[in-house]
Amino acid sequence: MMDPRWRPTVNEREFIEQALQSDLRVDGRRPFDFRKLKIAFGREDGSAEVELGETRVMGYVTAQLVQPYKDRPNEGTLAIFTEFSPMADPAFEPGRPGEAAIELGRVIDRGLRESRAVDMESLCVVAGKHVWSVRVDLHVLDNEGNLIDAANIAALAALSTFRRPECTVGGDDGQQVTVHDSEVRDPLPLTIHHLPIAVTFAYFGDGNIMVIDPTYKEEAVMGGRMTATINSNGDVCAIQKAGGEGVMSSVIMQCLRIASVKAADITSKIKREVDDYTTEKALQKVKRTPALVAKKVNVPDVTMKESTHSALENQASKAPNDGQQISKDPPAIPNDDKHEDTKPMLTESNPEVKSVSNSGTAGESDEFKESRSPKSLIDAIKPKHRRKKKQHGNS
């Protein structure tokens, strides 16, 4: 990181200015090229981190219920707070915010509030009593130049993903406000009409040379700076000229035309990243339990149907083969319990077997029946040879 007492030498200043006259910059970019932009979102809604080259800014959005201003009883509030840490740049001192921090907060606040980008009336709960106060905290993590543009993108990305709790009004007097938890009712997003994008220009020489997105070294050499806040429709939301040398009106109009093109590109980038984030969040909610419930309900039904279908096919294929075997060569009656269990199944499914068994039992003699079945319980308990002797004695 640069030393706080660092100042460009005469040779460094001349080198940067001569390179800009040849449409070249120290980092290899063209005069109207932005550095590589990356947007990352945190786990919670309303947090975003922006990397513009090596400049890093994190934005975090919170909201709470407060009393509205007396002159605007049905509108919420929006406030921007910046924090410059010595970790981002040794030139930043801890404690009270310096001039750079105050200017950064004012430029972003003017671009958001004066352009009415966020619908303040949608933040009203009970007119004159309860409104939502939205607070945007911007933390500078690394300063490598052009903090205004990076902080502006971080604030817009955080506001686009922020969700405030849903609340209902009830009670006897109709003034009691109930704030619902996110697990009970889904939070509600903010109503954002458009995205005001801040584009910063740096002027060199007599104001005829200008570049977009100045770096830390270019800011130390530049003679003036202007920030134009403009949306994708080409509407100018705010213009900030931070001192320095004067600029002709024709140069300002040229800057606004360039800024409108850059604002459209950055707006599409922010919307694309926000859409990916919301889609990923929605998929995480869907993956909770419905997939497991569907498996528990559907899988047993499918397996039962398949098993029943296969069992029916096996029985249908086995039935005619068994009937053919029995009709050709009826087997002998086995004595073990296994075949006794299967015998009724064969007789029920094949009427030929049933008729054969019935005719065989009808032709048996009465003596054979008496000798095979015991006459009383006592005879059934006695051994078989004693029963035979008793039967011969009676005869």
pLDDT band at 242 (very low <50, low <70, confident <90, very high): confident
How many whole angstroms separate alpha carbon 94 and alpha carbon 80? 19
387: enclosing H helix or E strand: helix 384-394
Within-domain flag for 312? no
Within-domain flag for 333? no
Q: Which residues pair with 138 in a beta bridge?
A: 59, 82
CA distances for 342 relative to 322, 336, 360, angstroms: 12, 11, 19
Angle made by CA atoms 130, 138, 196, in degrees to the nearest 5 = 80
Please give the distance of CA 353 from its chain centroid, rounded to a whole number.
70
CA distances for 132 relative to 116, 156, 180, angstroms: 16, 18, 14
Percent of the chain with pLDDT over 70: 71
More confident residue, 340 or 257: 257
Strands 236-244 and 224-230: antiparallel
Q: How many domains does the chain have?
A: 1
Q: What residues make up the domain containing 124? A: 10-288
- For residue 352, pLDDT over 50 is answered with no
Within-domain flag for 328? no
Within-domain flag for 377? no
How many whole angstroms separate alpha carbon 133 and alpha carbon 156? 16
Here the tokens at position 71 are 């002159």
Within-domain flag for 268? yes
> Average of pLDDT values for 382-388?
53
Within-domain flag for 316? no
How many whole angstroms separate alpha carbon 194 and alpha carbon 208? 32
Here the tokens at position 118 are 């966020």
Here the tokens at position 228 are 């134009």
Arithmetic mean of pLDDT over the chain: 77
CB of 242 closer than 8 Å to CB of 225: yes
CB of 310 closer than 8 Å to CB of 317: no
CATH code at 156? 3.30.230.70
Residue type, 172: D
Here the tokens at position 47 are 């947090």
| Residue that has been written with the tokens 């990916």 in this structure | 276
325: enclosing H helix or E strand: helix 290-328
- The four Cα atoms 377, 380, 382, 387 give a dihedral, to 10 degrees, of 110
Confidence at residue 169, expressed as pLDDT on a 0 to 100 scale: 86
**What is the model's pTM?**
0.70
Here the tokens at position 254 are 């040229």
Here the tokens at position 89 are 């740049």
> Average of pLDDT values for 175-201?
89
Please report the sign of the dihedral spanned by the C-alpha atoms of residue 19, residue 25, residue 29, residue 30.
negative
Q: Which of 35-44, 45-54, 102-111, 378-387 has the lowest mean pLDDT?
A: 378-387
Residue type, 387: R
- For residue 204, pLDDT over 80 is answered with yes
Confidence at residue 230, expressed as pLDDT on a 0 to 100 scale: 95
CB of 74 closer than 8 Å to CB of 124: yes
Q: Which of 214-218, 232-236, 381-385 has the lowest mean pLDDT?
A: 381-385
How many whole angstroms separate alpha carbon 80 and alpha carbon 114? 13
Confidence at residue 153, expressed as pLDDT on a 0 to 100 scale: 96
- For residue 383, pLDDT over 90 is answered with no
Confidence at residue 168, expressed as pLDDT on a 0 to 100 scale: 87
pLDDT band at 7 (very low <50, low <70, confident <90, very high): confident
Within-domain flag for 221? yes
How many whole angstroms separate alpha carbon 177 and alpha carbon 376? 90
Residue 239's Cβ-count burial label (10 Å; 0-12, 13-18, 19+) is: middle
